[in-house]
Chains A and B, each alone.
Chain A
């Protein structure tokens, strides 16, 4: 083995951070060289965020030090506890949730914080020239004259990266950058990142999507339970191996077992939702989900999935056409009526729609059924009864929490989703709407959600799975339909279906023929 000739730009030595009895980072070493793309892989709670927060001065390490290369290439210790020092040392980070002022243009966002307070003019012309040069150099094209709130998510992300580049970063940290992107946009991002790395930028890529790590990064560092468990080249590694390193046990590969479909539980015929001008709408949609099968909906985000989910969940009504749930025609937008018709709904955004942060786990567990006799008597909430059942559900669904009286906002995303699953599936719904059920979850939690959906199917429920993750759709669905610009294709059997075909249909090709 030849030693790597590229100079070190960042070196973390023996970083340890404790929160009370919890060791969030346990003597972690991490070296990053110029031009290197390193993956930082780990489940939620593995210590990725803590490590990066120490690098950024949000936390101070209990032990260990951070060294950053200065302008002369020599490593010097970075003072802890100062975000300013990290920025000045050339460390930049693009967070999963962007830090952009939505009412300012891209140009203004990039300049934000780089100008001294006493300067009256922003020096826009010079700045624009530099940004445009950066765009050419990096291949990151973005509209910098429109308020960023009106830009697509992909474009906002490009502006975030430009913002970092404008500050002359030498180490760029990308935190789950593809979580918000379509597959095509993700490919574009990877090309950009590679190009930036070729020019000498060091990139730390935080992710839990294994195929992305393997495709993009040359080295992968795996954290588990706060400790570094692997630091190796991606060459020669495969997904099963990384997954095992990440969660500490082997994940059994699951063969797709076909379901046993019965009678239709959801039938759409010629359904229109939303106004014609809107992007997220349904146009003459037809679909059938039968009991005992999972029907997947593939599509680039914002092509009508929201309208479809809202229709099934009871938040929106069909403007025209016929909607049948379990054989009964439904009209109007009434979530309660959908619940009574036997629909279990797993919403896309569990923080916004799925849970009420300030209420307890037990209260969230009975949110949809609080009026039912098992939860109230004469208008009084049966608290002991509810706590007992919530405790049972916590056990059955393996929710990691202090107990049924903990505020649900204190739970991690995966555990929060388990509470939602318990609420939805315990009622044995005839139709399950699962809208992006694993978004933002780690492998362990994702596997769990998949297992639960398959169990619901085995029990005889029909599942409508709306997802942007093609792997997930192909792994679970019996049939897959593609949605594009409000048009829904016919559902095609997953067996014999080609990912490429679906990808083309997601881009709008051949949808008319299929439909």
Chain B
């Protein structure tokens, strides 16, 4: 018989092992449908690995893909730490992208060292504003933020589509619903000649480190952790519960907004309604894989990005659908959730007595 005994503390190595183990287990589980579809399992995986990290180009593609996932993963991690269930990173990403275009597509003329920060700040502010509303509803009226943030994703996406069909439509784009391109002064510089990898990655890494320091070392980080663990006791102790929640909302929404700005200003150059293939939702998976640790978000985002990029390349080579990537990521999420059992409980085997 097996019994689960709650752990007092989870050692760091164990959380790490569970995350890595979940990734490996997900790849193993994916072998089953892969084999059933008649594909050569091992060469498929080899192709996937090659496609994700087999060359400098592949690696750069993976890191490019990981950049928005780091932002949205951080957005989910900081919010979930405070038990603010922000499911709206997708909408906040688009709000950020929209703000980036509004500022950077010619409305303001300024040198890059002014315009780039302005674009980023504007995008973060837009994302933050979008999440502050549900936080206000939650703290004032007790409205469930899961429902509000989730539904706002659709509202924002429709709003973006309206803007792209109307006021922000690029007249030069031959009728395609897309915004005018950002001016050169507003774009994030590329990191290497001839690769798509851009300096948004550096910003994302800086955000991860900054968030880690913020949560573990600062007074406001302390307050946020306290409120997330036990809001009642935090209020009793005189901590500013509402303000802490608002701060979490601003940070989380701001990070998601930066994801949008980084995609527009670093990669695409203009805004379309299919800017994000679900980066906002994938951020939740990334944060969960990372066990809500800001530093852990970076490898988790690279893993998820690698799976997607690798699966794309593999499907081109041997004709297996690239939906396989979704499968791997879904399996990884499930495995981490099961692994959560191990981090929260010690598993004890109880031998039945002879009687």
Contact B225 A359 (CB under 8 A): yes
Contact of A339 among B238, B240, B351 (CB under 8 A): B238
Contact B350 A60 (CB under 8 A): yes
Contact of B219 among A60, A353, A379 (CB under 8 A): A379
B222 at the interface (CB under 8 A from A): yes
B229 at the interface (CB under 8 A from A): yes
Contact A370 B1 (CB under 8 A): no
Contact A335 B237 (CB under 8 A): yes
Residues of A within 8 A of B240 (CB): 336
Q: How far is the CA of A296 from the CA of B217 in the complex (A)?
A: 42
Q: How far is the CA of A80 from the CA of B3 in the complex (A)?
A: 14
Contact of B226 among A80, A314, A339, A359 (CB under 8 A): A359
Contact B236 A381 (CB under 8 A): no
Q: How far is the CA of A376 from the CA of B220 in the complex (A)?
A: 11
B206 at the interface (CB under 8 A from A): no
Residues of A within 8 A of B355 (CB): 65, 77-80
Residues of B within 8 A of A383 (CB): 217
Residues of A within 8 A of B234 (CB): 356, 367
B235 at the interface (CB under 8 A from A): yes
Distance in angstroms from B350 CB to nearest chain A CB is 6
B169 at the interface (CB under 8 A from A): no
Contact A370 B223 (CB under 8 A): yes
Contact A356 B226 (CB under 8 A): yes
Distance in angstroms from A362 CB to nearest chain B CB is 11
Residues of B within 8 A of A358 (CB): 225, 229-230
- Assuming the contacts A81-B1, A81-B350, A359-B225, asked whether A315 and B235 have C-beta atoms less than 8 A apart, the reply is yes
A238 at the interface (CB under 8 A from B): no
- Assuming the contacts A60-B350, A410-B8, asked whether A315 and B229 have C-beta atoms less than 8 A apart, the reply is no
- Assuming the contacts A313-B236, A359-B229, A368-B238, asked whether A410 and B9 have C-beta atoms less than 8 A apart, the reply is yes
- Chain B residue, CB-CB nearest to A409: B8
- Assuming the contacts A60-B352, A359-B226, asked whether A371 and B219 have C-beta atoms less than 8 A apart, the reply is yes
Q: How far is the CA of A60 from the CA of B220 in the complex (A)?
A: 46
Distance in angstroms from B247 CB to nearest chain A CB is 12
Q: How far is the CA of A345 from the CA of B237 in the complex (A)?
A: 9
Using C-beta atoms within 8 Å of the partner chain, give the interface range for chain A.
35 or more
Q: How far is the CA of A396 from the CA of B237 in the complex (A)?
A: 22
Contact A356 B238 (CB under 8 A): no
Contact B219 A380 (CB under 8 A): yes
B55 at the interface (CB under 8 A from A): no
Contact B352 A81 (CB under 8 A): yes
Distance in angstroms from A16 CB to nearest chain B CB is 13
Contact A353 B232 (CB under 8 A): yes
- Chain A residue, CB-CB nearest to B240: A336
A52 at the interface (CB under 8 A from B): no
Residues of B within 8 A of A363 (CB): 222, 226
Q: How far is the CA of A61 from the CA of B353 in the complex (A)?
A: 8
Residues of A within 8 A of B233 (CB): 352-356, 367
Contact of A357 among B220, B230, B238, B350 (CB under 8 A): B230
Contact A376 B232 (CB under 8 A): no
A186 at the interface (CB under 8 A from B): no
Distance in angstroms from A227 CB to nearest chain B CB is 22
Q: How far is the CA of A370 from the CA of B217 in the complex (A)?
A: 12
B239 at the interface (CB under 8 A from A): yes
Q: How far is the CA of A334 from the CA of B241 in the complex (A)?
A: 12
B43 at the interface (CB under 8 A from A): no
A445 at the interface (CB under 8 A from B): no
Q: Mark A445-463, 1 if CB is under 8 A from B, else 0.
A: 0000000000000000000
Q: How far is the CA of A398 from the CA of B265 in the complex (A)?
A: 59
Residues of A within 8 A of B219 (CB): 370-371, 375-376, 379-381
A407 at the interface (CB under 8 A from B): yes
Q: Mark A214-236, 1 if CB is under 8 A from B, else 0.
A: 00000000000000000000000
Distance in angstroms from B20 CB to nearest chain A CB is 24
Q: How far is the CA of A358 from the CA of B236 in the complex (A)?
A: 16
Q: How far is the CA of A359 from the CA of B232 in the complex (A)?
A: 14
- Assuming the contacts A61-B353, A379-B219, asked whether A335 and B229 have C-beta atoms less than 8 A apart, the reply is no
Contact B222 A407 (CB under 8 A): no
Residues of A within 8 A of B8 (CB): 406-407, 409-410
A437 at the interface (CB under 8 A from B): no
Contact B236 A345 (CB under 8 A): yes
B218 at the interface (CB under 8 A from A): yes
A414 at the interface (CB under 8 A from B): no
Q: How far is the CA of A434 from the CA of B233 in the complex (A)?
A: 16
Residues of A within 8 A of B220 (CB): 379
Residues of A within 8 A of B237 (CB): 335, 367-368
A347 at the interface (CB under 8 A from B): yes
Contact of B236 among A78, A347, A379, A410 (CB under 8 A): A347
Q: Mark B327-355, 1 if CB is under 8 A from A, else 0.
A: 00000000000000000000000111101
**10 A–B pairs (Cβ distance < 8 Å), ordered by A:** A60-B351, A313-B236, A352-B232, A353-B232, A358-B225, A359-B226, A368-B238, A370-B222, A376-B219, A383-B217
With contacts A79-B352, A336-B238, A406-B8 known, what are 16 further pairs, Cβ within 8 A?
A60-B351, A79-B355, A80-B352, A81-B353, A313-B236, A314-B238, A335-B235, A335-B237, A352-B230, A353-B232, A357-B230, A358-B229, A359-B226, A379-B218, A381-B221, A406-B9
Q: Which residues of A contact B (CB under 8 A)?
A: 59-61, 65, 77-82, 313-315, 334-336, 338-339, 345, 347, 352-359, 363, 367-368, 370-371, 375-376, 379-381, 383, 406-407, 409-410
Q: Which residues of B contact A (CB under 8 A)?
A: 1, 8-9, 217-223, 225-226, 229-230, 232-240, 350-353, 355
Closest 6 CB pairs of A and B: A336-B238, A410-B8, A80-B353, A335-B238, A358-B229, A353-B236
